[in-house]
């Protein structure tokens, strides 16, 4: 009597279960490092605190008025806190998703992951969900805490629209980081690449300044990057600094275009790189 093993592709509910299991695994793992979680709340506040204190000292009594002339709002505290917290979400997406393959490689589990019937994209979606939960929670706490410390009202403007810009922007953002993950898989020096990339992003998305002050060529690159639209969308919704196209729905439409295009493109690039690395015995090696 012989037994034949048949391979049946996982169903949608099985994929969803695998995705949520990956998210749960990561959340349990990080809950064991409360110090790290605490730092994720402190970092954006300290980071925003640098330009706030520098600006207050250099601008003196006219700090808010000068800031309004250059950016469109007198509320420089909220402006900086929004920048640093969106940066914190973006940065975490890069560290957790782009570095995910590298992390599995270093811990020696990547080869095993590739032998399971679950696709890389399903697991990556699980890591993205984990990263989004961790990043947004930390950013929200940091924003409210920062506003409390610096004495400004966090609930001004259209809060729901601001949240909508963040949630719509997350998908193209994670797709973009996945694209970067392909580069990490190929080049391997992930720490250095991600470390540099997070500062390039913070510069391009206008973390503490409007992208309008950038030279035209740099501004072009800034505008083809989803976090720039996220940051400006949140600032415009809360502080009224002005949408790029004048109306919120036009800016939102741009984010939706990113949302439709970048995941497909990133998945295609990642699969190509992944196959090429797998063929060259590169998956388990680092």
Binding region for other proteins (CB under 8 A) out of 14-22, 44-52, 104-112, 124-132:
44-52
Contacts of 103 (CB under 8 A, 6+ apart): none
Q: Which of 16, 20, 30, 43 binds other proteins (CB under 8 A)?
A: 43
Tokens of 57: 């000292």
Binding region for other proteins (CB under 8 A) out of 18-26, 32-40, 124-132, 274-282:
32-40
Binding mask 129-168 for other proteins (x = CB under 8 A): ----------------------------------------
Smallest distance from other proteins to CB 225, Å: 15
Considering the rule CB under 8 A, would residue 253 count as an interface residue with other proteins? Answer: no
Considering the rule CB under 8 A, would residue 71 count as an interface residue with other proteins? Answer: yes
Q: For residues 116 and 22, what is the distance between their CA atoms, to the nearest angstrom?
A: 13
Three state DSSP letters for 213-249 = HCCHHHHHHHHCCHHHHHHHHHHHHHHCCCCCCCCHH
Q: For residues 161 and 167, what is the distance between their CA atoms, to the nearest angstrom?
A: 10
Tokens of 48: 């925003």
Q: For residues 230 and 178, what is the distance between their CA atoms, to the nearest angstrom?
A: 18
Q: Say how many C-beta atoms besides its own lie within 10 A of residue 16's C-beta.
A: 14
Comparing CB distances to other proteins, the nearer of 166 and 197 is: 197
> What residues from 197 to 236 belong to the interface with other proteins (CB under 8 A)?
199-200, 202-203, 207-209, 213
Residue in the structure block whose two tokens are 């680092």 = 286
Comparing CB distances to other proteins, the nearer of 27 and 46 is: 46
SS3 content of the chain, % helix, strand, coil (to 5): 80, 0, 20
Binding region for other proteins (CB under 8 A) out of 62-70, 103-111, 222-230, 264-272:
62-70
Binding site for other proteins (CB under 8 A): 33, 35-36, 39, 42-43, 46, 49-51, 53-59, 62-63, 66-67, 69-71, 76, 80, 187, 189, 191-193, 195-196, 199-200, 202-203, 207-209, 213
């Amino acid at each position: 009597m012989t037994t034949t093993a048949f391979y049946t592709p996982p169903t949608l509910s099985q994929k969803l279960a695998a995705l949520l299991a990956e998210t749960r695994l990561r959340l349990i793992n990080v809950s064991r490092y409360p110090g790290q979680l605490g730092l994720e709340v402190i970092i954006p506040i300290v980071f925003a605190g640098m330009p706030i204190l520098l600006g207050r000292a250099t601008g003196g009594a006219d700090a808010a008025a000068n800031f309004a002339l250059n950016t469109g709002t007198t509320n420089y505290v909220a402006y900086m806190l929004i920048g640093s917290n969106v940066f914190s979400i973006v940065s975490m997406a890069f560290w957790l998703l782009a570095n995910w393959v590298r992390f599995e490689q270093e811990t020696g589990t990547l080869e095993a992951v590739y032998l399971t019937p679950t696709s890389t994209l399903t697991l990556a979606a699980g890591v993205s969900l984990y990263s989004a939960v961790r990043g947004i929670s930390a950013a929200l706490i940091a924003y409210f805490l920062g506003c409390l410390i610096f004495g400004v009202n966090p609930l001004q403007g259209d809060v729901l629209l601001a949240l909508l810009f963040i949630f719509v922007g997350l998908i193209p953002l994670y797709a973009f980081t996945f694209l970067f993950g392909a580069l990490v898989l190929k080049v391997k020096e992930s720490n250095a690449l991600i470390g540099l990339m997070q500062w390039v992003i913070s510069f391009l998305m206008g973390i503490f300044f409007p992208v309008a002050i950038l030279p035209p060529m740099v501004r072009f690159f800034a505008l083809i990057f989803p976090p720039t639209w996220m940051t400006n969308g949140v600032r415009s919704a809360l502080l009224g600094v002005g949408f790029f196209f004048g109306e919120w729905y036009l800016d939102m439409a741009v984010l939706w275009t990113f949302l439709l295009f970048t995941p497909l493109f990133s998945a295609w690039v990642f699969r190509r790189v992944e196959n090429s690395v797998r063929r060259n015995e590169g998956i388990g090696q680092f």
